[in-house]
Structure 1
Amino acid sequence: MTDTSSSNADRVVLDAVGVALSALPPDARVAIGFSGGLDSSVLLDAAVRVAGAARVVALHVHHGLSSHADEWLAHCETSARACGAAFAAERVDMSRTSGVSVEAAARDARYRALDRRCDEHGVASLWLAQHADDQAETVLLQLLRGAGLAGLAAMGSDYRAPGATVPRSRPLLRVLRAQLEQYATGRGLRWIDDESNDDTRYARNALRHDVMPTLAVRFPGFRDAFARTAAHAASAQRLLDELARLDLREVAVDANVAELAREHADISTDAKASPAASEAAAEALRRDALLALDDERASNLLRYWMRSLGMPAASAARLADALRQLRELGDDHAMRVDHAGQALRCYRGVVYWEAGDSAEPADETALQPRAPSELRWRGQMVWHLPQWRGSFVFAPAPAEDREAIDVRVLEVAPLVACSRKGGERMRRAPGDLSRTLKNLFQRRGIPAWRRDVPLLYAGERLLFVPELGLNADALEGVSKDQPDEARGAAAAWVRIEWRPDLTLA
């Protein structure tokens, strides 16, 4: 005799998976985020039944947080092979910054690994196994945290995360956990029970074990009510996002980010990749235009802007602090709000994020001060600096070379080579934001051991930094667009290069 509850659960799960599959092209491949637990085991089994094994790949992430992690990896591979699906796994490093919970660090590492594997296997969508009980827990958890609408919107059934290469889907979001258990029992599935799910020190587990059972008795329809709340919040959030998009067009700095990204390496890759960065100058905002908005509207814009750059949401207190500092700003350089490894700065009326926060030790502390050297430049081609084991080379160059410099800049004052002291700033091109050298090194991915370089000054002005290039601020007043007669008949141009001794032949 067929178990009615089991057959009903079977139909509910397969219908949910069929709806998700119908949104994809006929031969599209799907990836399952496969932990080996009940939820993902049901999703994998149902996906293979509906789509066929050839269209499904199971992706497992090995966090190494549990002593059973190796056993779970073996179980997942065996289960995937048994149902005919392809399988891939990745081990991730769980090193994390202070102030980030284990749960958050594991989640971020897991999704980055899943995105990489999706690229490798050419899938059209990444399917995640969250269900209706997970959604209810998320809504309640966000309420207890005092989250805004974006938090109350909880989990969407279909979405594309910032930086993700494929869309993500949650086919089981309207299916109850009890129905998943009935499906798994009816299908004879075996799954992993993660012991950490019973640890009520974690907020979500405390809700799951201590609060949800009581709600189910007193308010049997609470899951549907919470789902409606999430839907209403998501609808309201879409309206706020549309308002923020309109405000961003008025507040963003007037510049073509895509063009700057091609021309200058110090434009952040996050800004280039974000949806907003495809519009003009979503990398930076005008301070005066931002502060012309009321607090609520300015905070809404900041939230949207940060999300478009792939940054996690900031608390209301942190946004309020940012707006307070912007209003009280005297010295631009004093403006700083740290968040998620970035620092919100303001310079010459432009508000922007730069890499690195005050929790990081400045890389200048690891540098060894060296004795400065001075040179009166009279056309020398090589200036050897033994204390840095390298040389500045002044090579003749055509004026149209972007890195060429008029020799008059070198002749007007003594050249000085000295160590970094920390806090030095430069602009790579006219119109660029002024950034600290540390920030520019970080943006270019220059490792710390290659940052111990001599800074080249012309008098008091920083002129050139190895690994970064010329400082546009030092070249003001000397334009390559001037006619020859304005520049003088004897005008000449050179390109400055830094060459370590081993490469100087």
Structure 2
Amino acid sequence: MIPPNTYSADRVVLDALGVALSGVPHDARIAIAYSGGLDSSVLLDAAVRVAGAARCVALHVHHGLSANADAWAEHAAARAASLGVAFDAMRVDVPRSSGTGIEASARERRYDALETLCARHGATMLWLAQHADDQAETVLLQLLRGSGIAGLAAMAPRHRPAASSVERVRPLLHLLRAQLERYAAERGLAWIDDESNADTRYARNALRVDVLPALAVHFPGFRDALGRAAQHAAAAQRLLDDLAALDLGAAARDDGRALSRAALVALDDARGANLLRYWMRSLGLPGASAARLANMMRQLRDAQDAHALRVDHAGQRLRLYRDAVCWEAGDSADPRDDDVVAARGVATCAWDGQEVWHLPAWRGTYVFALAAPGGADALPEAALRGAPLAVRAREGGERMRTSPGGSGRTLKNLFQEQGVPAWQRDVPLLYAGDRLLYVPRLGVNRDGAATGGDAPVGARWRRIEWRPDLLIA
């Protein structure tokens, strides 16, 4: 029981955590992001008092960016032990030349690690220690970077990222750092100080050290004002998301994995960009800049055929086929399609029962798995042993039968009939000698001469499958 005359900062902090805890199942595990600094030390101490040590787990991410990182991890483990709280830590490697800046890279790695640790401990709720001063810094940074409404909305009190089972909760978001300092002093807490927080080469530190103190002199209520601005931006963003959800419902194809180009370009540029941004987020893709979204809209309006569109983003490229706009793996670092085809020769293999044939030039593997006789995409082994296997690029005019006794048709017509986009037709054709056996995306050539249709009873059969490298476990 907490005495009613407890110091006011103590009461404010505990009340904030009580609100965050309300409605949470009594047996739910609560993960605390615990760096060992002032803010997270206050959060962990108060969480234990409000929720109980048994329900909490302190999670520490070791970035390795400071010579003191080992000591910080030891401090965090010791402090958790003194509170009777379960503790876990994870080391991460932060790239120093990722193009997004070391701050952004460290933040991305930290959240990835925290998600992994939450899953390890069965926690579906992650408490973070950001407070009102952090929110003010974030809003100012986003303003100075020219961010849109989503950026100005800054940090939400509660948020579950797309494709995540962990809800991020910020119980201290409406409290000032000064209130946390008073709580820590009253409780006699010990914490570590990250020396990099004083390095004003980092934008956030420059705001904290040089700008915010000057703002406080002339605009003492700036933290509350910027917090309200973030709330207004968040409300506006929700309305934009509602509009985008309506537009996505009208434009979605293939369960949302593609958009109708006609429906998309019928929107004006601003509304189309809003839909693209929302759609990309629903697919788990990183957000794109306003300039890149504008480029997407421009190319979609101007494209005359499938090859006229190519926008690269975050390891994916935007593609257009017929009326469908979709993403596929690959970016501008990859060779252009024509260059790749020209660099490939004819690969051969004297097949003798092996299950895989890796083809680096094609970035994939042919798999020959045991199968029941006559199964889909299956051939008797005699068809594979009869002549050296060869992989060749399409030259045009190749024909195959998709059913026994059916008429031979060109691969071009079959690809069109199956709706295979033009850029996905660059596949390795599998031959036995000069006989076409198998075509990825179309299947086995059901020509009796090619497939060994007269195979004896008891013959072993193999199912053929083409797997791009990205799908190989």
- Please report the TM-score for the alignment, with normalisation by the length of structure 1: 0.73
- For 1:282, the aligned partner's letter is G
- Give the deviation of 1:65 after TM superposition: 1.2
Query: Partners of 2:124 and 2:270 in 1: how far apart?
Result: 38
What's 1:124 paired with? 124
1:349 to 298, 301, 323: 323
> Map of 1:134-213 to 2, 5 A cutoff?
134-213=134-213
SS at structure 2 position matched to 1:346? strand
What's 2:264 paired with? 290
- For 2:220, the aligned partner's letter is P
Backbone CA RMSD of aligned residues: 4.3
- Give the deviation of 1:356 after TM superposition: 2.6
**Distance change (3 Å), C-alpha of 1:325 and 1:20:** same
What's 1:471 paired with? 441
Structure 2 residue 317 is matched with structure 1 residue 328:
no
Q: Cα deviations across residues 185-231 of structure 1 (Å, max 9, x unaligned)? A: 11111111111111111111111111111111101111111111111
- For 1:290, the aligned partner's letter is L
> Can you give the 5+ residue segments of structure 1 that lack an aligned partner in the other structure?
256-280, 441-453, 480-489, 500-505
Q: Does structure 2 conserve the Cα–Cα contact (< 8 Å) formed by 1:417 and 1:455?
A: yes
SS at structure 1 position matched to 2:418? coil
Paired residues, number? 425
**Distance change (3 Å), C-alpha of 1:394 and 1:88:** closer
- For 1:497, the aligned partner's letter is I
What's 1:304 paired with? 278
What's 1:266 paired with? none
What's 1:319 paired with? 293
**Distance change (3 Å), C-alpha of 1:250 and 1:97:** farther
Structure 2 residue 418 is matched with structure 1 residue 430:
yes
SS at structure 1 position matched to 2:74? helix
- For 1:240, the aligned partner's letter is L
**Distance change (3 Å), C-alpha of 1:394 and 1:123:** closer
Q: Does structure 2 conserve the Cα–Cα contact (< 8 Å) formed by 1:288 and 1:349?
A: yes
What's 2:94 paired with? 94
What's 1:277 paired with? none
Q: Does structure 2 conserve the Cα–Cα contact (< 8 Å) formed by 1:461 and 1:474?
A: no
- For 1:39, the aligned partner's letter is D
- Give the deviation of 1:416 after TM superposition: 5.2
Q: Cα deviations across residues 116-139 of structure 1 (Å, max 9, x unaligned)? A: 111111223100000000011111
Q: Does structure 2 conserve the Cα–Cα contact (< 8 Å) formed by 1:131 and 1:176?
A: yes
Q: Does structure 2 conserve the Cα–Cα contact (< 8 Å) formed by 1:36 and 1:191?
A: yes
Query: Partners of 1:131 and 1:232 in 2: how far apart?
Result: 18
Q: Does structure 1 conserve the Cα–Cα contact (< 8 Å) formed by 2:98 and 2:105?
A: no
- Give the deviation of 1:430 after TM superposition: 3.5
- Give the deviation of 1:374 after TM superposition: 11
**Distance change (3 Å), C-alpha of 1:327 and 1:457:** farther
- Give the deviation of 1:36 after TM superposition: 0.7
- Please report the TM-score for the alignment, with normalisation by the length of structure 2: 0.78
Q: Cα deviations across residues 372-403 of structure 1 (Å, max 9, x unaligned)? A: 5699xxxx999999998x9997999666x443
Identity of aligned residues (%): 58
- For 1:50, the aligned partner's letter is V
What's 2:62 paired with? 62
Q: Does structure 2 conserve the Cα–Cα contact (< 8 Å) formed by 1:382 and 1:394?
A: no
Q: Cα deviations across residues 117-170 of structure 1 (Å, max 9, x unaligned)? A: 111112231000000000111111111111111111111101101232211100
Query: Partners of 1:241 and 1:360 in 2: how far apart?
Result: 33
> Map of 1:206-225 to 2, 5 A cutoff?
206-225=206-225
- Give the deviation of 1:98 after TM superposition: 3.5
**Distance change (3 Å), C-alpha of 1:464 and 1:35:** farther
- For 1:283, the aligned partner's letter is R
What's 2:399 paired with? none
**Distance change (3 Å), C-alpha of 1:97 and 1:11:** same
- Give the deviation of 1:343 after TM superposition: 1.6
**Distance change (3 Å), C-alpha of 1:335 and 1:189:** same
**Distance change (3 Å), C-alpha of 1:121 and 1:146:** same
Q: Cα deviations across residues 63-111 of structure 1 (Å, max 9, x unaligned)? A: 1111111111111101111111110001112247742221111111111
- For 1:323, the aligned partner's letter is M
Query: Partners of 1:384 and 1:125 in 2: how far apart?
Result: 44
